[in-house]
Structure 1
Amino acid sequence: MAEEVKEKSTEKKSKKRPSKFLAIGKYFLILLILGGQGFLAYAVVHKYYPNIYEKIHSNQPAESVIYDMEELVVNPSGTNGKRYLLVEISLEIAGEDNVPEIDKHLLELKELMGETLAARTVNQLVEVEGRENIRRELIWLINSKIGNRSVRNLYFTKYIMQ
């Protein structure tokens, strides 16, 4: 029995509480790491931000040009020629130097846009969400044909479904 009492007293002595220094040290280390990361981020942004800002904003011309295209008439998919869509499109182009490039590829662009619109069903052409998808696809199509991102926006100035 005396041995059991000795074992219990030694167990209590071996179960020491962690020191407050270790707990405070952990928090201090976390605070030091976060502070160091914050300082490093500030130093990087302070050093490189003016160059990044200038590079981003130097590529975009301040002016934009509206380019009006002729009307397109297409038969939607699945209508057997009984219905048609009349569309007039205006393009917002970044700078006047891109207008000759569009003029150069105008016939190909009209053909590609006509095929894209004719591949849609009436429901896709009538719904607002479908029109937005078509608008984004036409912007991508024109930019890929021209070879640069000159088209900023595309507007349907006339959109008649008959």
Structure 2
Amino acid sequence: MKKLILNACAFSLLTVVSCKKETKIDPSPATIKDSVTIKADSASSSASSSTRSIITNNIGKYPHDIKLFENKDFTDRVKRITGAQYDEIFNNFNVESQIVSENGIYKVTGCKQHDCPGYSTSIFYDSKNDNLNVAIDKNGKITDFTEKEKIKITDVLKSM
């Protein structure tokens, strides 16, 4: 077991992180979408397990109640895919929604106090593929950040 962990650690040190940025323009003139994909093959199983459990075991709870942003594994993953945007996300995650789920996809949202339409963040977690996505909406301009691949979100989950 120790050898497997050491091999996984060594592999993760050698893994190269690549970024791909593409811009998508929605047909509606008010919405512009940016998309950033971070490919990281080195998420350790313990980090994945910690992220998975803090999200999947707390449906119906609010992020501040479970100290979601104090979970190092979760925040490290969000920081890795959002980069310089992380501090703005964290500072504006004031008005929160409960964690909701549909078909193994989990969603948590937060927005800027007194200005939810001006700045809101949705974080999606696909438990089957251990994949995080973050969507930031700044006055109708949506920027998507994906860890592995874009998670398919149903209309029901979007509306929750």
TM more than 0.5: no
Q: Which has the larger radius of gyration?
A: 1
Which structure has more helix as a fraction of its residues?
1
If asked which structure has higher relative contact order (CA below 8 Å, sep 6+), I would say 1
Which TM-score band applies after superposition, normalised by the shorter structure? under 0.3
Normalised TM-score (structure 2): 0.26
Higher strand share: 2
Task: Report the TM-score when normalising by structure 1.
Answer: 0.25
